[in-house]
Amino acid sequence: MSIVNKKLETWVKELSDWTKPDAVHFCDGSQAEYDSLISRMLESGTLHRLNQDQFPGCYLHRSDPGDVARVEHCTFICSQKKEDAGPTNNWMSPDDARAKVWPLFKDAMKGRTMYVVPYLMGPEASPFSKVGVEITDSPYVAANMRIMTRMGKVALDRLGDSDDFVRGTHSLGDLSPERRFILHFPETREIWSVGSGYGGNALLGKKCHALRIASVQARDEGWLAEHMLILAITTPAGEKYHICAAFPSACGKTNLAMLIPPASMPGYKVETVGDDISWLNFGDDGRLYAINPENGFFGVVPGTSSKTNPNALASTKKNSIFTNVAETPDHLPWWEGHDDPAPATLTDWKGGEWHPGADHPAAHPNSRFTAPIANCPSASKDVESAKGVPIDAIVFGGRRAKLAPLVYESFSWQHGTFVGATMASETTAAATGAVGVVRRDPMAMLPFCGYNMGDYWNHWLSIGDKPGAKLPKVFHVNWFKRGADGKFIWPGFGDNLRVLDWMIRRVKGEDAAQETPIGYVPKRGSIAENGLNVSAEKWDELLKVAAADWREELSGIDEFFAKFGDKLPAGIREERDALAKRLG
């Protein structure tokens, strides 16, 4: 394919001189090109063909066993000033990056093909969409980018001869964890990623561009780039509402985005606009409108079943790439939590023989599917909406075995910003490191905010100050409260609709809440209970706000806020003090 953008051509030439690929391929995003990428990977053993009768167009990739998740300790913000990365990001100066990391790209593509992947984040017709170009030596990355973004010609057409695109340079390098770096240059809108082929580290359109770089663009341009799903709910009365929700990685965003209403709540319809990232811009009416910059799902596989998420399951039945799941002798993908029990013998995610009862899971806990949104039975037609969908409610949440009630509503936008800023959650397998440890994860953006989190909160507050803004209500949920027996109290999944329904009624102004020190909590009986088997004691536990526990939480919050020094916005401090006062 020939390209006409001189800046892009010059950059590609510079990079190929440095990395020395055997060939350079400009991706046009066509089906024929995708098919030939797949054929090459089947030949080289990078992909394995799954059972084409049951999973047409589906393949399995087994990654390097040491390269299976995001690596936060190798992820850096390379702003000119350290202060601009803030206390929650790793920082490397651009000069150090050039001295230390750039040499890792030298000759790195020898013996490989360099793929130039132009992509558009956001709908083709949307003025809010942004162009990026990823240069990679991984055909797996190029193929995944075709599923996850609008790739090729559509992006080049949008770009024209403009210089306004995010430049992403990716090489597998030698896949060594010691030489693995994911660098972001917010001032020059550049990304360098070396040493990993894992989605969140290597599909640069996703976390690196659509969150870390876009969060900086959003700050500069007056919008929000957030780690949020987007869903639409139509009520039995035919009214439509839209919700954005931010949960940390592997805490159920995909499940919530694809929720199927329980049989006991007839007449509701839930549609999926996005499952991971949301870009929110003001409309002329002062409301926030969300687009999903992505075109596919990169979802966690284990635990996905016809009970937990039939829509995700259906999404993976064709034209999808599975990474690090197990494989049955019939070449079907299998994972822990699958509908079918494990057969007597499996090939595990590392390619070894596996039998039920083995001392390790057959599928990696962070094994993933990459699937087109168009495959999803609940996909909304608004996935292509140029303007985006108007947001009625923003929801924050995390995994907390104790403390946070099932749901509460903030008092105001400023208080909602504080609620987001003080979010905490138990860690999951989506990133390397210990699992199950409570950590602060403001707005679920801890690993994804491309600048100082204090400035980021300030930006959130400034969104609230925009003249004429008609802002969504802000809520907090916790599906993960555990009882004394250690079991989850709330049934979750489809029944989460009951909580969303309560939020919608609050948006409409229904008197269904009571004031507590942390916010408005549902009045007993105000969450639809028909067909639900939750005892009175469990409701007590679910809706409890224990002042002593929250006072303890506040000291954890203070410790966290102390890291920000004078970057902590006055509005956040005000909310902190007001909460302390209410708690007594």
Helical H segments across 125-190, by residue range = 139-148, 153-159
- Of 276 and 541, nearer to Mn ion (C-beta) is 276
CB of 323 to ligand OXD, least distance (A): 11
Q: Does 455 bind Mn ion (CB under 5 A)?
A: no
CB atoms within 10 A of CB 56: 12
**Please, which residue, 123 or 200, has the CB nearer to ligand OXD?**
200
Closest CA to 54 of 312, 329, 330: 330
Among Mn ion, ligand OXD, none, partner that 553 touches (CB below 5 to 8 angstroms by kind): none
Beta bridge partner(s), residue 282: 288
The answer to the question of residue 370 lying near ligand OXD (CB under 6 A) is no
Query: Which stretch, 143-151, 275-283, 533-541, 544-552, contacts Mn ion (CB under 5 A)?
Result: 275-283
Dig out the tokens for 400 from the structure: 């907390």
Task: From the list ligand OXD, Mn ion, none, pick the one residue 70 interacts with, judged by a Cβ distance below 5 to 8 Å according to partner type.
Answer: ligand OXD
Residue range at the interface with Mn ion (CB under 5 A); choices 216-224, 243-251, 331-339, 385-393: 243-251
Q: What minimum distance in Å lies between the beta carbon of 42 and ligand OXD?
A: 25
Q: What's the rounded Cα separation, in Å, for the pair 38 and 433?
A: 32
Minimum distance from CB of 329 to Mn ion (Å)?
A: 33
Near Mn ion in 249-268, by CB under 5 A: 249
Q: State yes or no: residue 271 binds ligand OXD (CB under 6 A).
A: no
Report the alpha-carbon distance of residue 503 to residue 510 in Å, rounded.
9
Contact flag: residue 479 with ligand OXD (CB under 6 A): no
Among 134, 137, 226, 276, binds Mn ion (CB under 5 A): 276
Assigned token pair, 345: 């013998």
Binding to Mn ion in span 75-114, by CB under 5 A: none
Backbone angles phi, psi at 119, to 5 degrees: -145, 155
Comparing CA positions, the residue from 272, 338, 276 lying closest to residue 303 is 338
Question: How far apart (Å, rounded) are the C-alpha atoms in residues 577 and 573?
Answer: 6
Q: State which residue, 70 or 242, has the beta carbon closest to ligand OXD.
A: 70
Task: List the single partner that 193 binds among Mn ion, ligand OXD, none, CB under 5 to 8 Å by kind.
Answer: none
Minimum distance from residue 404 beta carbon to ligand OXD (Å): 20
348 binds ligand OXD (CB under 6 A): no
Pairwise CA distance, residues 206 & 118, whole Å: 13
Q: 547: which 2 tokens? A: 């002042």
Of Mn ion, ligand OXD, none, which one does residue 200 interact with (CB within 5 to 8 Å by kind)? Answer: ligand OXD
Using CB under 6 A as the binding rule, whether residue 182 contacts ligand OXD is answered as no
Tell me if 126 sits within 8 A of 291, measured CB to CB. yes
Choice between 249 and 432, CB closer to Mn ion: 249
d(CA 42, CA 516): 59
Q: What is the DSSP letter of 208?
A: I
Measured from the CB atom, the residue of 33 and 276 that comes closer to Mn ion is 276
Q: Say whether residue 430 binds ligand OXD (CB under 6 A).
A: yes
Total chain residues near ligand OXD (CB under 6 A): 6
Helix, coil or strand: residue 389: strand
Rounded to a whole number of angstroms, the minimum distance from the CB of residue 257 to ligand OXD is 12
With CB under 5 to 8 Å by kind, the binding choice for 50 among ligand OXD, Mn ion, none is none
Does residue 309 interact with ligand OXD by CB under 6 A? no
How many Cβ atoms sit within 10 Å of the Cβ of residue 40? 14
Local structure of 442: helix, strand or coil: helix
Give phi and psi for 230, each to the nearest 5: -130, 125
Contact 353, 128 (CB under 8 A): no
Decide: 120 and 134 in contact? Cβ < 8 Å.
Answer: no
For residue 413, give the H/E element and its range.
helix 413-421
- The DSSP symbol for 207 reads I
Smallest gap from Cβ 44 to ligand OXD, in A, equals 25
Q: Is 575 in the site for Mn ion (CB under 5 A)?
A: no
Q: How far apart are CA 336 and CA 357, in angstroms?
A: 12
Taking CB under 6 A as the rule, which mask of x and - marks residues 209-248 in contact with ligand OXD? ----------------------------------------
Contact status, residue 131 vs residue 119, Cβ threshold 8 Å? yes
Q: What number of CA atoms fall less than 13 Å from residue 309's CA on the CB side?
A: 22
CB 495 within 8 A of CB 263: no
Please tell me whether residue 194 binds ligand OXD under the rule CB under 6 A: no
The CA–CA distances, whole Å, from 413 to 126, 335, 514 equal: 27, 41, 18
Q: Closest approach of Cβ 430 to ligand OXD, in Å?
A: 4
Backbone dihedral angles phi then psi of residue 285, each to the nearest 5 degrees: -85, 5
- Residue matched to tokens 């809440």: 513
Q: Does 392 bind ligand OXD (CB under 6 A)?
A: no
Closer CB to ligand OXD, 315 or 328, in the complex: 315
Catalytic (active-site) positions = 251
Minimum CB distance to Mn ion smaller for 172 or for 229: 229
Does 276 sit near ligand OXD (CB under 6 A)?
yes
Is residue 397 involved in binding ligand OXD (CB under 6 A)?
no
Report what 296 binds from ligand OXD, Mn ion, none; CB cut-off 5-8 Å by kind. none
> Tokens in use for 252?
């159920």
Specify the DSSP class assigned to residue 488.
B
Whole-number Å distance between alpha carbons of 468 and 287: 9
Which one of 61, 62, 70, 170 is in contact with ligand OXD (CB under 6 A)?
Answer: 70
Q: Does 249 bind ligand OXD (CB under 6 A)?
A: yes
**Interface with ligand OXD, residue 200, by CB under 6 A:** yes
Residues between 58 and 77 with contacts to Mn ion, criterion CB under 5 A: none
The one among 298, 334, 413, 479 contacting ligand OXD by CB under 6 A: 298
Residue with smallest beta-carbon separation from Mn ion:
276
State the residues that interact with Mn ion by CB under 5 A: 249, 276
State the residues that interact with ligand OXD by CB under 6 A: 70, 200, 249, 276, 298, 430
